[in-house]
Structure 1
Amino acid sequence: MSSLSAVLIANRGEIAVRIARVARDLGIRSIAVYSEPDTGALHTLVADEAYQLPGSTSAETYLNQAALIDVAVRAGADCVHPGYGFLSENSDFARAVTRAGLTWIGPTAENIDTLGDKVAARRIALEVGAPLAPGTPDPIDDWQEAQDFAEEHGLPIAIKAAFGGGGRGLKVVDALEDIEDAFAAAGREAREAFGRGECYVEKFLTRPRHVEAQVVADMHGNVRVLGTRDCSTQRRYQKLIEEAPAPFLSEEQNRQIVEGARSICQRAGYVGAGTVEFIVSEDGTVSFLEVNTRVQVEHPVTEAVTGIDIIAEQFRIAAGEELSFQEDPQPHGHAFEFRINAEDVAHGFVPSPGTVTSFEAPAGPGIRVDSGVRSGSEVPGFYDSLLAKLIVWGPDRASAMRRAARALEEMTVRGVRTVIPFHRDMVTHPAFAGERLEVFTNWVDTEYTPRHSAAGGDIEHVYTEREHMIIEIDGRMHRVGIPTGLLGRAVAPAPEEPEQENTEGAILSPFAGSLVAWQVADGDEVSEGQAVASVEAMKMESVVTAPVAGTLRIDVQPGEKITKGGILGTIS
């Protein structure tokens, strides 16, 4: 890697930590950037140097192209790694990096334009013979075009950001009357996450599995496919669990996915790491979905079963070297990745920013944890909710599942609520851990019921923090967990409860973040359960409904910051 000596990491969180560590392995100096809320974040401490980007929001900091390039030049970087998200699939940024005399660690700007544009990627997939669901040939300008498509091809439809991925800017619509709001919401999310709001529409296939192929290609014409991954366990099209290789596929399905991915990338002249995504419908049909022109969040599961460091290969490719391997690697064993997001499962996976008071990772054979936080880390509400990733390998799927169950029991995150209770539930759930995979992309949204209580729904108690004590009874050790609140009351009188504010008729924010828009006007009559506002935190937009029927009085305006439980408006 002699041609690259210093890398600016244009990202944050666990992927920035990951890139910094690989850079150190390769003898490359790492330069981190950080926003004001990320001051002292783990990625700034792992990197060799760190520079502040003044501001808090993504637009002010990690999407600020001029500021990023300025830091790179001032710090003496000769290359830029964008990670995933933010500007990783922005061809204008790739060109700006190159114009500044720096090496872009990723596919060419032309690759990003061609394959990052999902409409153009569909055309290439069609040329090479990949099966496709019906879709609009170009991005659409207004919601009426989406309605026209739905009336021609039927519902449900998917409204999708033309530039970007990771579920941002994706809305599945089941009713004609919901198309206008879904189109507006998809555009807002896309602009916030990727800086571009264009969307297209395609027919949504019901009960699909999400299966993808990892591709790496160098400048010498070598295009290798590192096998498949299943990413069907999602909520609101945000992946929660991934595994490699994708299980329960026929040889023909596997061949279609692997060779389809290779053909698409070869036709496009692709260079770098990328992922070609497919859906596998319940009748077994394989259909091309999109290409992600970047490294994926879930790349470690592929690394676990192939032994190939995908980030290191990205550096090799950018330096003009050939790939370090000559043939498609065959998978060894099975691996899972569990995304540890700061989200509250007990209240519908709402974002849960705050301070991580304790972070304890599991250990042992086949266990890897990629984390962007540690004990004491602040989790801002401005960015993605991903804190860490737990990757578990085993010699086969069943043993990897058992090992994962043990690792998840050992993993402890306190201070913010995470999705760990969901993961603990899933590794023993018959739909996921059984002899066949019954999970599909919206299974969590439509069919999942938490199994942590007799009632099957309320899992609030799983977040109760406990102090553990060791006691001995008849020579045998027992570990007892006592809720912290009960332990405190045993040694001190309970404080008097403050008088509660009357919130009857109040529209309360489900989490800390910002108000995006009102769907109704001040003074309007609303019905109980009607959607009245959209709120956003950690790049997740949610709808707030009216708790009662009556006349709305608006207290908070769009763009204003909100707190969890704060009053947005009142219905009387």
Structure 2
Amino acid sequence: MKTTTITTLLVANRGEIACRVMRTAKALGLTTVAVHSDIDRNALHVREADLAVSLGGAKPSDSYLLMDRIIEAAEVSGAQAIHPGYGFLSENATFARKLEAAGLIFLGPPASAIDAMGSKSAAKELMENAGVPLVPGYHGAAQDVETFRKAAEQIGYPVLLKATAGGGGKGMKVVERESELADALASAQREAQSAFGDGRMLVEKYVLKPRHVEIQVFADQHGNCLYLNERDCSIQRRHQKVVEEAPAPGLSPELRRAMGESAVRAAQAIGYVGAGTVEFLLDARGDFFFMEMNTRLQVEHPVTEAITGLDLVAWQIRVARGEPLPITQAQVPLNGHAIEVRLYAEDPDGGFLPASGHLDLYREPAAGPGRRVDSGVEQGDEVSPFYDPMLAKLIAWGENREEARQRLLAMLRETVVGGFKTNLSFLQRILIHPAFAASELDTGFIERHQAQLLPSADELPEAFWQRAGAAFLATDAQRQRADDPHSPWAARDAWRSASPAQTHLTLVCGDVRRSVALEVGGASAARQADVVRQGDVVYLRCGVEWLAVRRFDPIAAAEAGNTHQGGLTAPMNGSIVRVLVVPGQQVEAGAALVVLEAMKMEHSIRAPEAGTIKAIHCAEGELIGEGAVLVELEAQP
């Protein structure tokens, strides 16, 4: 097969994967093209591209999922090839066919392979015919609730509903009992339709305490296919991966080979080309069961790159050009150990609800051997409620797992994010947990260790408030000296004209307010590494967390108090999917009132107590901001 010329590459995605692909493409001498929605016009992936084309809109359905607009962007920019990243259109066979019809190169597998594995139902039938062990389940065409009810009864609860066309936890629900099935199915179908444009579902037995182990495969256009070792992705929340590592701890060479060879057979059976991942459930006895195949590059591919020394994006470009794989299976390296964590804009203490807003403060760890950061944001960017809330991936490599773990912990301690809640401290708690250090991994890790990973907030000690107050005084003085270095008011000693050498500050951290008395010039500020002043906010390290402290503003507090009594507010920015109640309706405690969609996931706003719906302040399809009153509930007397 002859090689194909690619000089200009369009990346049909956003965030850190778009940045990663463009950096590799530039290193290979290619011109890069970014596409973007209206609200992403100033995003990092746009700033890094050689050319940029607007898709318009905001939601994925109005921008990044519009196939014809992406093809038009390629034609306008002169791109010969399109890299889909992951998510969005990366596993859409229709998109692959449209690109082929338009004379464009798709950096992914043939549409026929996406059809075969892109539908989880079809993939499971394929694997069953090939003799690959499957988790018991229903993967048929009928999609009515009664069919799923009968299947779940036959399988036995708990069961797992999964979107046939996607992954990443979108359109996935665990159902514990029959009474929950109908609502869970309807919600999962809506999520799947929103995220992938396909609401079809399957149901399978929910296996208790499995490990999630996946095999990275790669195939060229000449019939060559190999596996690049495995990754353990067992630590998950909401069925989305949080920590990934390679190789999987505790796997014997024999088990690695058996899983790898099975993955290669699966890829070859469908004429696969490019990067793909075959995912398995692994039980404690060493038996593995096929889950699905992701026909794209995975979020966690950097850990595979770290232990092999290979650049998988560069491989994708070379394979798309028609070049053969550069090595054989026997030449695949396995060197050391790598661990990756996903830094999300989300609130772990609030059920991992996604966060959005202005990124007031963002500092990545220092570069160095065995350290890597793949990010899609910079300080000052806006994080939108319409897309996945991942900010960056932090990857550490070491000669062994413990060295990688310690190096990644150091990287997390150097990372600072301010402006909204993140999972930064949550990630540190995972890495320092004894069970993680001992490689005791399964998909229930977070739930089982929730008390340690998500501890109740302790009262902040007086020493914290003193450090915060001292940090304000020190940084105030620094600002004053910068404005007028010769002013006596800028001095950091205790001199004051007709005033005591003591000052009082009223500070706020979260929902806590505290008055602090400080000796001017006598209190020492926190170490420079533990405090960051950004505007009117001081960020202060407290244990594994960075806490934001502000001066108390009585006027703003009074305005915030003038809210609707009994009002249920939006916990994040998003759009209203369903309003389930009407004014005057009686509701029980825990009843779902409104369904809110944010970052491609649905969240139900529930009644905290029994009462009567007094008023509704939102409508289906409406975009709302965090803190907006949605429903007024009058509690029962």
**TM-score computed with the length of structure 1 as normaliser:** 0.93
Q: What amino acid does structure 2 have at the position aligned with 1:498? A: A
Residues in 2 aligned to 1:460 and 1:139: alpha-carbon distance in whole angstroms: 54
**Does the residue aligned with 1:311 lie in a helix, a strand or coil?**
helix
Aligned-residue offset at 1:267 = 1.2
Name which one, 1 or 2, has greater alpha-carbon Rg: 2
Q: Is residue 280 of structure 2 the alignment partner of residue 278 of structure 1?
A: yes
Conservation of the 8 A alpha-carbon contact between 2:612 and 2:633 = yes
Report what 1:375 is aligned to: 379
Per the alignment, do residues 319 and 556 of structure 1 end up closer, same or farther by CA in structure 2, a change over 3 Å counting? same
Aligned-residue offset at 1:381 = 1.0
Query: Relative contact order, CA 8 A, sep 6+: which one is greater?
Result: 1
**Does the residue aligned with 2:450 lie in a helix, a strand or coil?**
coil
Aligned-residue offset at 1:16 = 0.5
Q: Is residue 523 of structure 2 the alignment partner of residue 523 of structure 1?
A: no
Report what 2:419 is aligned to: 415
Report what 1:314 is aligned to: 316
**Does the residue aligned with 2:86 lie in a helix, a strand or coil?**
coil
Match of 1:340 among 318, 340, 343: 343
Residues in 2 aligned to 1:304 and 1:321: alpha-carbon distance in whole angstroms: 23
Conservation of the 8 A alpha-carbon contact between 2:137 and 2:155 = no
Conservation of the 8 A alpha-carbon contact between 1:529 and 1:547 = yes
Aligned-residue offset at 1:40 = 1.1
**Does the residue aligned with 1:220 lie in a helix, a strand or coil?**
coil
Q: Is residue 408 of structure 2 the alignment partner of residue 404 of structure 1?
A: yes
Aligned-residue offset at 1:479 = 5.0
Q: Is residue 600 of structure 2 the alignment partner of residue 539 of structure 1?
A: yes
Q: What amino acid does structure 2 have at the position aligned with 1:563? A: G
Conservation of the 8 A alpha-carbon contact between 1:346 and 1:458 = no
The number of equivalent residue pairs is: 566
Q: Deviations over 1:499-540 (max 9, x none)?
A: 413544322211111122234454332111223332111112
Q: Is residue 624 of structure 2 the alignment partner of residue 562 of structure 1?
A: yes
Q: Deviations over 1:418-467 (max 9, x none)?
A: 1111111111012212x2324x2243245423457xxx323797999965
Higher mean C-alpha displacement, 30-39 vs 115-124: 115-124
Report what 1:394 is aligned to: 398
Aligned-residue offset at 1:256 = 3.2
Per the alignment, do residues 139 and 533 of structure 1 end up closer, same or farther by CA in structure 2, a change over 3 Å counting? farther
Per the alignment, do residues 267 and 533 of structure 1 end up closer, same or farther by CA in structure 2, a change over 3 Å counting? same
Q: What amino acid does structure 2 have at the position aligned with 1:523? A: G
- Aligned-residue identity in percent: 43
Q: What amino acid does structure 1 have at the position aligned with 2:362? A: F
**Does the residue aligned with 1:427 lie in a helix, a strand or coil?**
helix
Residues in 2 aligned to 1:154 and 1:76: alpha-carbon distance in whole angstroms: 54
Conservation of the 8 A alpha-carbon contact between 1:243 and 1:335 = yes
Conservation of the 8 A alpha-carbon contact between 1:526 and 1:549 = yes
Conservation of the 8 A alpha-carbon contact between 1:125 and 1:288 = yes
Higher mean C-alpha displacement, 307-316 vs 542-551: 542-551
Q: What amino acid does structure 2 have at the position aligned with 1:458? A: A
Higher mean C-alpha displacement, 522-531 vs 152-161: 522-531
Gaps of 5+ in 2: 476-491, 493-520, 540-547
Higher mean C-alpha displacement, 275-284 vs 150-159: 275-284
Aligned-residue offset at 1:283 = 4.6
Residues in 2 aligned to 1:555 and 1:346: alpha-carbon distance in whole angstroms: 27
Aligned-residue offset at 1:312 = 0.8
Q: What amino acid does structure 1 have at the position aligned with 2:432? A: T
**Does the residue aligned with 1:263 lie in a helix, a strand or coil?**
helix
Per the alignment, do residues 479 and 28 of structure 1 end up closer, same or farther by CA in structure 2, a change over 3 Å counting? closer
Conservation of the 8 A alpha-carbon contact between 1:116 and 1:163 = yes
Aligned-residue offset at 1:251 = 4.1
Higher mean C-alpha displacement, 477-486 vs 134-143: 477-486
Q: Deviations over 1:523-562 (max 9, x none)?
A: 3321112233321111122222101211224321221112
Q: What amino acid does structure 2 have at the position aligned with 1:304? A: A
Residues in 2 aligned to 1:236 and 1:478: alpha-carbon distance in whole angstroms: 37
Residues in 2 aligned to 1:170 and 1:403: alpha-carbon distance in whole angstroms: 33
Residues in 2 aligned to 1:129 and 1:461: alpha-carbon distance in whole angstroms: 58
Residues in 2 aligned to 1:246 and 1:23: alpha-carbon distance in whole angstroms: 30
Per the alignment, do residues 78 and 426 of structure 1 end up closer, same or farther by CA in structure 2, a change over 3 Å counting? same
Per the alignment, do residues 494 and 502 of structure 1 end up closer, same or farther by CA in structure 2, a change over 3 Å counting? closer
Report what 1:457 is aligned to: 456
Conservation of the 8 A alpha-carbon contact between 1:244 and 1:301 = yes
Residues in 2 aligned to 1:487 and 1:355: alpha-carbon distance in whole angstroms: 16
Q: Deviations over 1:103-148 (max 9, x none)?
A: 1110000000001111121122223322111121324311221111
Conservation of the 8 A alpha-carbon contact between 1:232 and 1:242 = yes
Match of 2:52 among 50, 53, 58: 50
Residues in 2 aligned to 1:62 and 1:491: alpha-carbon distance in whole angstroms: 38
Q: What amino acid does structure 1 have at the position aligned with 2:404? A: A
**Does the residue aligned with 1:399 lie in a helix, a strand or coil?**
helix
Q: Deviations over 1:472-514 (max 9, x none)?
A: 99xxx95585697897999988443314135443222111111
Match of 2:175 among 173, 184, 201: 173
Gaps of 5+ in 1: none
Conservation of the 8 A alpha-carbon contact between 2:309 and 2:333 = no
Residues in 1 aligned to 2:132 and 2:409: alpha-carbon distance in whole angstroms: 37
Q: What amino acid does structure 2 have at the position aligned with 1:241? A: V
Conservation of the 8 A alpha-carbon contact between 2:158 and 2:206 = yes
Match of 1:152 among 151, 154, 165: 154
Per the alignment, do residues 26 and 149 of structure 1 end up closer, same or farther by CA in structure 2, a change over 3 Å counting? same
Report what 1:366 is aligned to: 370
**Does the residue aligned with 2:342 lie in a helix, a strand or coil?**
strand
Superposed, which structure 2 residues align to 1:50-449 within 5 Å?
50-327=52-329, 329-363=332-366, 364-433=368-437, 435-438=438-441, 440-445=442-447, 447-449=449-451
Q: What amino acid does structure 2 have at the position aligned with 1:360? A: R
Higher mean C-alpha displacement, 121-130 vs 23-32: 121-130
Higher mean C-alpha displacement, 421-430 vs 256-265: 256-265
Q: What amino acid does structure 1 have at the position aligned with 2:123? A: A
Q: What amino acid does structure 1 have at the position aligned with 2:619? A: Q
Q: Deviations over 1:252-310 (max 9, x none)?
A: 43233212111111111111110000111345431110000110011111001101111
